[in-house]
Structure 1
Amino acid sequence: MPQKLSIRGRRTITVWIVLAIATIAATGCGDTDSGEDQRVPASTDVTQLIPKGLSWRTYQGIDLPVAAQGPRLIEGAIASDFDRSPVGAALAAIHATVRMSVAPDGQWASVGQSMIAPGRGRDTWATARAQISITTPATDMAPRILGYLVRAYTDTEAQVQTYSTYPDRSITRNTATVIWATDGWRLRLPDAVTESPVTAVDSVPNDIVALPKP
């Protein structure tokens, strides 16, 4: 029987919530930031990194950004049709990591099939996810997405860092990689998890692409 897992109180914005949850819980928010910044500028044109027509759509208690660059199609738990651009890659990374982390029991399999790249990483995640049960949305401990940085970008792969804050005023940085497939951007999970993708940070970088809410 799957173990019932409550979303409440979890640091849910993580690529590997199922496998990294013990690490995150033990440290409060994940690993401690070393202070090193190895970011590679995705573009010298800042306007290419800013979403246009930003709005918000709630999924499982968490508000997710929607813009002209995507997603242009949302069907249940699945978000798709993101631009092949730095902004499209960033929005795809945010949606994929959140949706795979909080999708309830009846939806997580379709999220994995549609939004995560095939491979050993996806298979391992699916095996672990099947052992737990998520039935309720995030509530009073739901994170608020502040913005992102595109650390590296090509037409086929991008690395994105998403910054979120929580009701206790803590801040986390989640690092994710997306790759371009025949049907658009997909989250790539590592074959082996050696460290948590979620890091506790003291503050948000000055050059973050902010995602303001009305």
Structure 2
Amino acid sequence: MSFTGLAWWDYHGVALPYSAGDGPRSTGGDLASGFTRTPLGALLAAVHVSVRANAQWGPQVFEPTITKQVIGPDAATLLAAMRELYGKRHGDLPKDAALGRAYVVLEAFRWQGYSPDTASLDLVSAGPGDSDMTVRAVTRIQLQWQNDDWRVIAPPGGTWGGAAASLTSSDGYIRFPNTGGGS
């Protein structure tokens, strides 16, 4: 898979990859859709949908992302968990406001499988931890081609933590170019 032509743009503190050929073709309303039925399209959908399906960006982003782009038996549980998390962290912010910038870098990924109908990959992210240490996590993201676009299958138990594990080495992963994750 070639990363030629991939551009990285800031999304509230997270550098996300964009491809003129593979997507997202639409980013209106802080949402992302329109990915090609290719390995790169699946990878881009996994990144964009999983990042946006997070309480951090507020209900105007996570609710339509989850209701329109996340499928599977745990999709409703994920939506309820994000609403609850947002409610706990919202505090005195204006109604529906984002909780602030994110401090995470998408570093690498590894395919678990790909076909034109389904895809599965592990996504490595890094962020600040205790004592100025960088903490890395790997999150399994599964996708299904449905209604002419990739849909993310909700993580087990409806929480991203249920699909994530800490990571001490990114050996064996494909590093993303130009994101701080290598070249």
TM over 0.5: yes
Bigger helix share: 2
The correspondence of residues 34-113 of structure 1 with structure 2, limited to 5 A, is: 49-67=1-19, 68-101=21-54, 102-113=56-67
Question: After the TM superposition, which segments of 4 or more aligned residues of structure 1 sit over 4 Å from their partners?
Answer: none
CA contact 2:113–2:119 (8 Å) conserved in 1: yes
1:193 deviates by 5.5
The correspondence of residues 81-160 of structure 1 with structure 2, limited to 5 A, is: 81-101=34-54, 102-117=56-71, 119-133=72-86, 134=90, 135-139=98-102, 142-160=103-121
Which amino acid counterpart does residue 62 of structure 2 have in structure 1? W
SS, match of residue 59 in structure 2:
coil
Match of 1:172 in 2: 137
Deviation string 1:101-147 (CA, Å, 9 cap, x unpaired) is 13313322111122212x431111122222232532234xx110112
CA contact 1:63–1:144 (8 Å) conserved in 2: yes
What is the aligned counterpart of 1:184 among 133, 136, 149?
A: 149
What is the aligned counterpart of 1:204 among 170, 176, 181?
A: 170
Which amino acid counterpart does residue 200 of structure 1 have in structure 2? S
Percent identity between matched residues is 24
CA contact 1:159–1:177 (8 Å) conserved in 2: yes
SS, match of residue 155 in structure 1:
coil
1:108 & 1:207 partners in 2: Cα distance? Answer: 28
2:22 & 2:41 partners in 1: Cα distance? Answer: 5
1:181 deviates by 0.5
- CA gap of 1:163–1:148, structure 2 versus 1, over 3 A, is same
Higher relative contact order (CA 8 A, sep 6+): 1
Structure 1: give runs of 5+ residues left out of the alignment.
Answer: 1-48
TM-score normalized with structure 1 length: 0.68
- CA gap of 1:53–1:176, structure 2 versus 1, over 3 A, is same
CA contact 1:77–1:111 (8 Å) conserved in 2: no
Count of residues in correspondence between the two structures: 163
Deviation string 1:26-66 (CA, Å, 9 cap, x unpaired) is xxxxxxxxxxxxxxxxxxxxxxx233311112223211111
1:209 deviates by 4.3
